[in-house]
Structure formats: structure tokens, C-alpha cells
Structure 1
């Protein structure tokens, strides 16, 4: 994807992806927008922009924020917004670096990514089998969800899969990630079966398109939109609907939480961190290491909830109060 023509388009494209893929809340998106527009205005005043800004430019901007008397939390949030914008730009191939990634901020507690329990994922998968007006819609939704949980793909990678990647009953899928990087991801037996069934439907639909003289499609999950395939926003709405149908809190469920669940569940079952890094397509293993903290936090929570001695200690403390 070619880089946007100006800073406002950088911001709008980034915010759209945050809304569709990460399920960012409206207030979060508004905060990102305000912070990034402020940075863009500061750069523009110095004849700069996001495409050309260096690490020194970003540091100078943060020094200016400090000189304006902005709070530590505000400065940390602005640096975070710039880091995420540039990470997105790097993955999209707009830049070959992230000028904000090595800048030490004023410090802020790092939130652990939300994840899902195995039973919650099972409920979402079952809901996919029941959701859709027509049988082919339900089979497509089942295939989407099985592939997402089996591979940990980003939703943008999932919806844009070419049909050629799925031919021949594959054990592995070749995924074209952000920045044009390719990786192989294995398929579980349920995902392979869902894919096999969906391909039968796809072939029938393709034959019908050709019989009517319509152009063929190269995408596994085609649509009539301008992209030619299902969009991230469409999938975001679908997964919220599946959460409601499956009795899972919709606030916990986004396309990205399925990716987090994939990684966390693998780690909990003994998978190697380097293997998970390769499957997720992370350039830096430090990004993958966050899942060890998620797992540690969940294990601690389970002990406090279910261990009899822990329950006794909690009760004793309540009695003392």
C-alpha cells in the first residue's frame, strides 16, 4: 500500500485500522486523533511531516510538550500515539523505520492485552455456525473464525487471503503480512475442514459468476466492495454479533482478542515463545513476550480464585475489616 499523501490521511487511515482491527473505543480514537493532529501541526510549522520526521524531531516535539507544562500522563499518551502510528506505518510499508520506538517516555503502566478463555472461544465458534441468513453465510462465518483462531492472523491478513493460498487441502497457509512479509501458519483439523467446505461453496459461486459473465475474484472471502474482499470493519461487526449470540461479553471481544487468545493458549500449553513469534509475524520477540505476562497474571488470578488456602486468607481479611 502506497503511503498517504499528507498527515491528515496518515491519521485517518491509522484510526480506521484501530477501530476495525483493535476495536478501539470512540474516546480512545478521539484522543489519538487530537494527539496526532497536534504533532502534525508542530511538524508542519517546522516544514516537516510524519513521512520525513526523524527521532530527533519526535524528541524535540516531546520536549516542547514538556515546556508547555503538559502532564506526564499526557506526554506519555502522545508518545504512545506516535509510536503506534509509526508502527502501523512500518507494517504498512509507508516507512522503513519507527523513529519513536526507542524514545524513553515519562513512564506509564503498560496494560496487558485482553484475552479470552478457551470456553469463550468455543462459544464464539459455535455462534459462527449459527449466524448468517443463508447456509453459505454460516459456512463462511465458520471458516473465518476457525482460520482466525487456528492461525492467530491479523484480521486484515485473514479477509484479504487469496483463494490460491487455500487450494489442495493445505496443512499450512502462506500469509502475506504487513510490510509485504510472508510467513507460514499451520491449520488445525477443524480449520482445514471448515476451509474445505467453504471452498466448495466458493467454487459454486465462482461458476455462477462466470455463467453470468461477471468478473472472477481472487479472494477467498470476496465482497462487492471496492477492495474486492470483506473489510476489517465488516468483520469487527460480525464478531460483536457472535459474542452476543454466544453469551460472551462483547466488550471483551474484538478481532485482535482472538489473536491474543491464540498466542496465550499456545503459551499455556507449552509452545515455545520463538515459535509463537514466528506464527504471529512479530519482528521483535519483545512484542511476543507480553503474552508471558498475560499468562502469569491469569495464573495468579486462578490461584486467588480457586486455591482453598487463598480463599481462606481472603475470608480472614474480610472478617478483620
Structure 2
């Protein structure tokens, strides 16, 4: 069947329903797709569904001033949309080869050094070191321990249920992106910090970090992290909840963590996403090869004296 004229809005909605139902797309992902597809439809005067390659070339030209990463995102959304139209029989062809494929480089994550992290925890320890610490400082300690100690995403952290940590169990089970479950290890430090905070949380609360009628918001978490960073002398542009997640991954890798294990802990569907952290560890990897590879041992013998055949 062919798509009726002027059907952009209806078919965009059907496409988004498919993404939510079949692919388990998160609300933020759906919102981004909706914005990109409706924007493209507007540029093409409501003729996105019926657009041919020439029209998509014109659309691509309207993106000329945008960053290559933005163009890549928009083009990817349209490719998936046209794939949906083709699969569902609303089109007999796929015009998406006319869309650009800009070369993009994944930006290296901002990270905190070990000294930065020590200063953050120094501020927390000072706040907790008084005779009667403020409950909000106890909460902050639990938040930071879980962010840096377990690598949780901000959305995962703030929405933890009150009973997320069960007894002395050293892990929790999270449902992350796409509804996929993963096991997240919880350190002794984090369990103790959460236990201290639970003394201040009502037994009938649904959330570990309640706020008003719901849970702590990601925006408020972001503000709390920046405030703590400012007290520790860390510029605001260098710190955020996601930066602490990056620090968790980077410092684990530096300590010898297996990349596949790290992938599982972070909840990355693709190992390529996890591999971004290897950039910070190149020096350690070179040292590892020099120390353990047979050729490294041979070179040591050469340095100590001629290696003769």
C-alpha cells in the first residue's frame, strides 16, 4: 500500500509507536526521533514520507551549518524511518542513500583524575565528620558512592527504589536502557553509605532518594554534584554525574578490569561504546606488553647483553 498524501505526522507517530513497543526505545530517544523527523517534514513542506532522493539532497543542504555529529544523528533517524516505511509497505523504495554520512569521531569522555576524586571524598568526609551530620550530607555521600563506586547512570541512580539494596547482597539488579536488566556490583563503602542514608528515609517511601511526591530529579543531582565539585576546587565544566560514571569506568580499566566485564557493569549494548575508555589507558597497556610479551623479554636480554642466534 502507498502512503496517503499529507501523512507525515500520522506515520511518524506510528513509527515512534513501533520503536517504543518493539525496540523498547527510551523516552529521550523517542523525543529525539520525533524532533528530527518533524523538523525534516517541515523543511520538505510535509512531504517527508513521499520524498525522493532529490528532495533528500535538498534537505541535506539545509543541514550545512550543523555539526557533523548532528547531521549524522538526523540522517540516522531518517534512514530508520524509511526502513520502517519500506517494511510496512508504505513505500516501494528507500531514498535514504541520498542522505549524507559525515565522518564523525566519538568525543573522548571528560574524566576526573584520582586526585580530583580524593578531593571530592575529602569534602564529604569533612561534612560527615561532625557529631551530627546533616541528613542532606548523608544523602550526598550515598549518591557519590553509588555514582563513582558503581558507575550508575544519573537516571538509574535517582530512580532507585527504597529497597534496591537487599541486606548484605553486594550487588543490585537494574533495568537500564531498552528495559535490559544488568547486575551492578555495590562496594562495602556504598552499602554502608546507603545504610546510613536509609535511617533518614521513611519506611513507606517508594524511592531511595525521595523528593516531594517523586524522587530526586536528574537536574537536582547535577546541581548537587557541581556544588560539591566547587567546594573541592573542581571547575563546574569538568564535573557532572556522567563524568563520575566515566571516572568509574576509566579507573577500573586502569586497575586491570576486563573490558567485557566493564561493558556488562556499564550496561553498554555494544563493546565499541566501552572501548572509548581504552584511550586513557594506552600507557598502561604498553607497559603491560613490554613486561609480559615474549618479545619484551627478548628485548630485556638484548639490553642486558647481545642476544645471539
TM category (shorter chain) comes to: 0.5 to 0.7
Q: Which of 120, 123, 126 lines up with 1:124 in the alignment?
A: 120
Pick 1 or 2: higher relative contact order, CA cutoff 8 A, min separation 6. Answer: 1
Alignment of 1:124-273 (within 5 A): 124-129=120-125, 135-202=134-201, 205-206=202-203, 216-225=204-213, 228-273=214-259
Match of residue 317 from structure 1: none
Pair 1:63 & 2:86 matched: no
Tell me, yes or no, if the aligned pair for 2:260 and 2:271 is still in contact at 8 Å.
Answer: yes
Residue 77 (structure 1) aligns with: 70
Count matched residues.
244
SS in structure 2 of the partner of residue 201 of structure 1: coil
SS of the equivalent of 1:166 reads coil
State the Cα distance separating 1:121 from its structure 2 match.
Answer: 1.5
The answer on whether the counterparts of 1:142 and 1:194 sit within 8 Å (CA) in structure 2 is yes
SS at match of 1:112: coil
By how many angstroms is 1:298 displaced?
9.8
Structure 2 spans left out of the alignment, 5+ residues: 1-11, 16-26, 81-95, 287-309
Q: Is the 8 A contact 1:130 1:138 kept in 2?
A: no
Q: Which residue of 1 aligns with 2:19?
A: none
Work out which of the residue numbers 240, 246, 261 in structure 2 matches 1:275: 261
Looking at structure 2, the residues matched to 160 and 278 of structure 1 have their Cα atoms a distance apart, in angstroms, of 20
Which protein is bigger by CA-based radius of gyration?
A: 2
Q: Could you give the per-residue CA deviations for residues 152-191 of structure 1, whole angstroms, max 9, x where no partner exists?
A: 0101000100112213132111112122211111112211
Alignment check: 8 A CA contact 2:112 2:243 kept: yes
Determine the C-alpha separation between the residues in 2 that align with 1:142 and 1:60: 57
Name the Cα RMSD after superposition: 4.2
Ranges in structure 1 where 5+ consecutive residues have no aligned partner = 8-12, 19-31, 49-55, 88-99, 207-215, 301-321
In terms of fraction of residues, the more helix-rich structure is 1
Partner-residue secondary structure (3-state), 2:182: strand
> 8 Å contact 1:129–1:139 — kept in the other structure?
no
CA–CA distance in structure 2, aligned partners of residues 266 and 84 of structure 1: 34
Shift of 1:75: 4.9
Distance 1:193 1:235 in 2: 20
